[in-house]
Amino acid sequence: MSNRYIETCPVGCAAALATTDVVLPEGPLLRCSACAQLISQISEADYLQSMQAFNDAGFNLPDERAAQRRARHAIQRLDRIRALLGGRLDRRARIVDVGCSRGDFVAAATGAGYEAEGVEPAPQIAAAARAAGRKVHTGLLEAQHFDDAQFDAVSLFEVVEHLRAPRELLQECRRILRPGGIMLISTGNAASWTARAMKARWDYFQTQKDAGHISFFNPRSMGLLAERAGFELAEVTTGRVRFAEKSNLPGPLFIAAKLAAEALALPARLYGRGHDMLAYLRKPSVA
Ligand SMILES: [Zn+2]
């Protein structure tokens, strides 16, 4: 067990990790007994290998429908950030998207009137983003040496589930945010009905297939992480329910699963059981 890449709860709890019944190729997921964070037992070598897939510029390119959905989400999220920032500013709000991939959110933010830039560690993907005319820096956020309190907003989409020590990254985000600034985090919800029902078949848990997902949040552990990194939690929402992949169910069963999922979409949102989680954090105005 000493071979594990993650030894202790990534949220920062000192509590014991217990074995769960979600059994993956690298062993059962572990659960923090304090915050219920789920944690992969993957080795460091296998983790680094799975992350390599990220630097392939063709990795995870969305199809047209997914791209349209993402564009809609980007507009909704930018509107929400602006509302949480208090509506009107006397200048353009400055935002940085950390782990920005090809810079689609950077482009959406620019289109919505923000002064937007991105940071992307995978060099080929960052280069592709720049070739598409987006302001994207190559490397980790820490390597950019942004000045303190430069940004009104920071976004972190589908990043925290890849990290052994997410608190360090959140603290760097907090440093570059102005007091009162907003941080938006998206990740999967390990307390979702989808995760409960699908267990090891939930694609989000597939470390090897999905390039390095190793740490799985729930609304409570996300709140704890925010607090421990020095943020206030403005709001957490969850949405969407899914019980099947088209590829592993015969047609009629897939349709039944899809209908059940659609019927549960609203209650999932109400009870925090949707499989996509969005957390809006605020840097306190007075330190
Ligand atoms: Zn924990």
Distance 36 CA to ligand 1 centre (A): 6
Report the separation in Å between the CA atom of 31 and the middle of ligand 1, taken as the mean of its atom positions.
8
CA 12 / ligand 1 centre spacing (Å): 6
How many whole angstroms from 11 Cα to the centroid of ligand 1?
A: 5
Distance 136 CA to ligand 1 centre (A): 33
Domain range list for the chain: 17-282
C-alpha of residue 87 to centroid of ligand 1, in Å: 35
For 51, 122, 208, the CA distances from 47, given in Å and listed in that order, are: 6, 16, 8
Cα 85 to middle of ligand 1, angstroms: 30
Spacing, Cα 13 to ligand 1 middle (Å): 4
- 30 phi/psi in degrees, rounded to 5: -100, 150
Backbone φ, ψ for residue 112 (5° rounding): -90, 5
- Residues pairing with 30 in the sheet: 19, 39
Q: Supply the pTM of this predicted model.
A: 0.90
The dihedral formed by the CA atoms of 280, 60, 116 and 159, expressed in degrees to the nearest 10: 40
Query: How far is the centre of ligand 1, averaged over its atoms, from the C-alpha of 8 (Å)?
Result: 8
Report how far ligand 1's centroid is from the alpha carbon of 243 (Å). Answer: 27
Say how many Å lie between the CA of residue 220 and the centre of ligand 1. 10
Ligand 1 center to residue 132 CA distance, Å?
A: 40
93/90 Cα distance (integer angstroms): 9
Strands (E), 75-114: 94-98
Task: State the 10-residue block means of pLDDT for the chain, 287 residues long.
Answer: 86 96 93 97 88 61 81 94 84 94 95 96 94 97 97 96 95 97 96 85 75 90 97 91 70 78 77 88 87
The confidence score (pLDDT) of residue 37 equals 98
| Alpha carbon distance 217, 270 (integer Å) | 18
- Report how far ligand 1's centroid is from the alpha carbon of 285 (Å): 27
Residue 120 has φ and ψ, to the nearest 5°, of -140, 120
pLDDT score of 10? 97
- pLDDT for the residue numbered 1: 47
Give 128 Cα–ligand 1 centroid separation in angstroms.
37
Fold of 17-282: Rossmann fold (3.40.50)
CA 189 to ligand 1 center in whole angstroms: 15
CA–centroid distance, 93 to ligand 1, in Å, is 34
